[in-house]
Amino acid sequence: MADGRTGAGISRGNLPPLELHVPEPRYRPGDAVDYSYLAIPEAGKQPRPDETCPAAETFPLCDDLIRVLDEDHRAVGPWNPRLDAETLRRMLRAMALTRAFDDRMYRAQRQGKTSFYMKCTGEEATSVASAFALASDDMVFPSYRQQGILIARGYPLVEMVNQIYSNRADVLKGRQLPIMYSARDYGFFSISGNLATQYPQAVGWAMASAIKGDTRIATSYIGEGSSAEGDFHSALMFAAVYNAPVVLNIVNNQWAISSFSGFAGAERSTFAARAIGYGIAGLRVDGNDALAVYAAMRWAANRARANGGPTLIEHFTYRAEGHSTSDDPSAYRSAREREEWPLGDPVMRLKRHLVALGEWSVEQHEAMDRELVEEVKTATKEAEKNGILGHGMHHPFHTMFEDVFEELPWHLQEQAEQAIRERRVKWPDWKE
């Protein structure tokens, strides 16, 4: 008897064959760009619930977009944090310094001084404004594009460059990829190249803080592509069940290397809306509006500190340049995307706000930029005295066997001694 098979499938009468949907970005190289499909609400129109409200009161904000700076560069609406001019200037300086640092390190990579670098151009507000809204001892579990947090917290630029060059002054002793910083004294957990692992780590740290009766909260950052990882969902489940004092950030910069955000689920819903399924507070914020980012992070941090529970924040922004120095975005996206991005540039928007307040000027900004270029140049030159990639000025060879065990086991001690002997035989002129 025939089994009803037709081709590679099975006939089911008059039912249509099943199909899969494969997401496609709206624009490819050479295409014209039209962002009219994006719903960009008017600044200042989003309600601001009480920080200790039931999570459900925030759910409408998961599909909205919290905005503070309007088209006239004024701060408007209930989310306006009403920061004083000096704080705004310090925030602007930290954002501009982050950009100047990125530019210098990008050139250093092209000059062969390091193997790899990742810029955060266009996303500076998501890290710097967040850092200003947190307490200095709150614990940050970052991704690899939050260098602005270290800079905002005053971490020495020389130390950052030393880590990027993996030289003899690198506090991590060359054991991390460039840009994967670790700064315990600055509340900055070691960056991992494994995507989304920092999310459950942040939730666990926050739970431990609560268990100890501490007052410090945790926060973590991932890109929207990493929200497809299992660790993302594990973290949200634990955070929701135990009401962990944590702020979980998704930096939606539209692209996970060459995969656009649709592959992580952006076609179906916003990333902030995932908070609804877990019953926790959720906010969606204009990631290029430093005041909106500050206000959202301060709201979520205050909520966590008041035992109101976790918050998931989606920062809606745009990755203005390549994913890393190993990436060429012109191969997969239209060059017009950056120019046409409707939410503008975060540094320029904050600059224009200060100018509109009468607290800044174009001349002051140009002078600041020149000063920051020199500051970064000085730090870079100082770090280069400790060596650059491949120039032999590294930590002593024996240190590769250290810092794993408090006391090195006998068999590893033997292996270390053998490796050092063989190195000396091969390179008689070698010095520690």
pLDDT in tens, the chain (432 residues): 445 555 566 667 889 999 999 999 999 999 999 999 999 999 999 999 999 999 999 999 999 999 999 999 999 999 999 999 999 999 999 999 999 999 999 999 999 999 999 999 999 999 999 999 999 999 999 999 999 999 999 999 999 999 999 999 999 998 899 999 999 999 999 999 899 999 999 999 999 999 999 999 999 999 999 999 999 999 999 999 999 999 999 999 999 999 999 999 999 999 999 999 999 999 999 999 999 999 999 999 999 999 999 999 999 999 999 999 999 999 999 999 999 999 999 999 999 999 999 999 999 999 999 999 999 999 999 999 999 988 877 788 778 888 889 999 999 999 989 988 898 888 887 666
| Residues 60 and 66: beta-carbon distance below 8 Å | no
Residue 208 has phi, psi (to 5 degrees) of -65, -40
Q: What is the model's pLDDT at position 1?
A: 46
Distance set, CA 211 to CA 59, 202, 204, 205, 242 (Å): 28, 14, 10, 10, 11
Q: Which residue has the tokens 């920092």?
A: 198
* Joined tokens for residue 65: 């977009």
Sign of the Cα pseudo-torsion (254, 258, 262, 266, in order) = negative
For residue 148, how many other CB atoms are within 10 A of its CB?
26
Query: Which one, of 220, 234, 218, lies nearest residue 278 by Cα?
Result: 234
Distance CA 63, CA 369 (A): 37
Distance set, CA 61 to CA 274, 286, 414 (Å): 12, 12, 60
Distance CA 170, CA 78 (A): 45
Q: How many CA atoms lie within 13 A of 143 on its CB side?
A: 25
| Residues 146 and 209: beta-carbon distance below 8 Å | no
118 burial level (CB within 10 Å; 0-12, 13-18, 19+): buried
For residue 90, how many other CB atoms are within 10 A of its CB?
15
* Joined tokens for residue 206: 């926050």
DSSP per-residue codes, 163-194? HHHT-TT-TTTT-S-TT---BGGGTBPPP-SS
Q: Which parts of 188-335 are beta strand (E)?
A: 218-223, 246-252, 255-256, 259-260, 281-286, 311-316
* Joined tokens for residue 288: 């290029």
30: left (phi over 0), alpha (psi -120 to 50) or beta: left
| Residues 220 and 248: beta-carbon distance below 8 Å | yes
Q: What is the model's pLDDT at position 9?
A: 63
- Whether the predicted model's global pTM rises above the 0.85 cut: yes
Distance CA 423, CA 430 (A): 8
Q: Find all residues with CB under 8 Å of 35, minimum gap 6, and list them.
A: 340, 341, 342
